[in-house]
Amino acid sequence: MSDLMTGPDAEAVGRAAALLARARQPAIAGLGTDVDGVRAALKLAARIGAMVDHAAVAHGRVELRTLADTGVMTTTPTEARHRADLVVLAGPGAVAFADHARAFADGGGLYPWRGARGVLCLGTGAARPAQMAFDGDVAAVGDGQPLDRLVALLSARLSERPVGDLGNGPDATALDAAVLQMKSAAFGVVVYDPADFDHVALDGLMALVRKLNAETRFTTLAVPAHHHGRGANLVAAWNTGDRLPIGLGRGYPEQDDWRFDVERAVAAREVDALLWIGALGPALPAWSGDVPTVALIHHGARDAAADVVIEVGVPGVTHAGVLADAVRDGFAYLEPRAPQSLPSVAAVVAAIEAAIAGGQP
């Protein structure tokens, strides 16, 4: 089926190569693509001295700061599915993950000691899971409350401390019921999306989990970064030795969250050419209009305001690709579900690099 794939448009590739080749400080961002696409982008970045950033890099930054500051307790999706008799969905992103990835769509069952599975929604608003298998109690607390406040209140009640007048927040009875449900679990897992937390709130959540482990067994499961963010970081790590964002302007990889934050660098006028890769999303950001831009957009995207726009296929949809699997917690090869004759990101980026190399003395 991959034989249907066509090569990139030579004229568009030539214009993209010219735009990137004349830049003094180019950047590659978005990076919503598969393993081959990320590898091709890093290879191009090494040739032109670009900084490389992923659209969801802030997601991982929250996790890493918490890991460095206080440590985390975590597990894999498979262990969570089979062991957990209580799944705590903290924030709306956790509900979206549970439904989209179907990580808990079956009840597991490797461990006969595990009882019925319950669900507790913390600060998820109106969101409730529709693709979860559970046969225990389902409860919710803190709808409409900021997650940092809710976590602090639960932590206080777990330590049997008074919380005072909560105003429009959850009453002490609801908080105590949630605490009791968590303490009664034989093995609980808190699922959270780092995009719903800042590092202070996430540190509070990890502190709550540590307190729960004084009385039972509890751990966490983080929602992977969107647009193949986890996969892109892993590819960057094994190719450069570091996570994103990185810079290759000095001829070797450097990692710096501030210097190589492409959005910040564009705003500071440090970048004079941008290659945006969005085969898996996200859409071209508004700030890209401040710099000459080449946009590789997924099939069906509309109104990409860039100097050069090249439509590419979507890995696992229009052509085969290797992507990080959020449920298996590893990489998986995906056959195309709806093959079309569109070039892959890897093919387009390799063609741009070849055009740049051919034009250099």
Closest listed residue to residue 260, CA positions, set 271, 272, 273, 276 = 271
Closest listed residue to residue 147, CA positions, set 200, 77, 108, 99 = 200
Closest listed residue to residue 34, CA positions, set 307, 221, 232, 287 = 232
If 0-12 CB within 10 Å is exposed, 13-18 middle and 19+ buried, where does residue 337 land? Answer: exposed
Q: CA-to-CA distance for 101 and 348, rounded, in angstroms?
A: 29
Residue 42 tokens read as 């890093």
Please report the pLDDT score of residue 165 as a whole number: 65
3-state secondary structure of 191: strand
Query: Tokens 């991982």 label which residue?
Result: 60
* Mean pLDDT across the chain: 90
pTM of the predicted protein model: 0.86
pLDDT, tens digit, 9 for 90 and up, residues 96-124: 999 988 888 887 777 777 788 899 999 99
State the DSSP H helix or E strand holding residue 12, giving kind and residue range, or none if neither: helix 10-21
Give 260's Cβ-side CA count (13 Å radius).
Answer: 26
DSSP per residue over 246-299, as a string? EE-TTSS-EE-TTTT-HHHHHHTT--SEEEEEETT--PPPGGGGGS-EEEEEET
Amino acid at 355: A
* Fold of the domain spanning 2-56+227-359: Rossmann fold (3.40.50)
Q: Which residues of 215-253 are buried (b: 16+ CB within 10 A; e: fewer)?
A: eeebbbbbbbbbbbbbbbbbbbeebbeebbbbbbbeeeb
Query: Which residues does 167 contact at the CB level (< 8 Å), separation at least 6?
Result: none
Per-residue pLDDT of the chain (361 residues; tens, 9 = 90+): 344 566 778 999 999 999 999 999 999 999 999 999 999 999 999 999 999 999 998 877 888 788 778 888 999 988 898 999 999 999 999 999 999 888 888 877 777 777 888 999 999 988 898 888 888 778 899 888 899 999 999 999 999 888 876 666 677 888 999 999 999 999 999 999 999 998 889 999 999 999 999 989 999 999 988 899 989 999 999 999 999 999 999 999 999 999 999 999 999 999 999 999 999 988 899 999 999 999 999 877 765 689 999 999 999 999 999 999 887 778 999 999 999 999 999 999 999 999 999 876 4
Please report the pLDDT score of residue 231 as a whole number: 92
Residue 279 tokens read as 């085969």
Please report the pLDDT score of residue 222 as a whole number: 92
E strands along the chain, which residues?
Answer: 26-32, 51-52, 86-90, 118-122, 138-141, 188-192, 218-222, 246-247, 254-255, 273-278, 293-298, 308-312, 321-325, 330-334
Bridge partners (DSSP) listed for residue 203: none
DSSP per residue over 230-254, as a string? HHHHHHHHHHHSSPSSEE-TTSS-E
Report domain 61-222's class. Answer: alpha beta
Please report the pLDDT score of residue 191 as a whole number: 96
Q: Where are the domains of the chain?
A: 2-56+227-359, 61-222
3-state secondary structure of 63: helix
Q: CA-to-CA distance for 329 and 38, rounded, in angstroms?
A: 19
Q: CA-to-CA distance for 52 and 41, rounded, in angstroms?
A: 8
Amino acid at 260: F
Residue pair 194/224 in contact by the 8 Å Cβ criterion: no
Q: CA-to-CA distance for 166 and 153, rounded, in angstroms?
A: 9
Please report the pLDDT score of residue 121 as a whole number: 94
Query: Tokens 């499961």 label which residue?
Result: 221
E strands along 71-125, which residues?
Answer: 86-90, 118-122
Q: In what order do the strands lie in the sheet with 218-222?
A: 138-141, 118-122, 86-90, 188-192, 218-222
Amino acid at 351: A
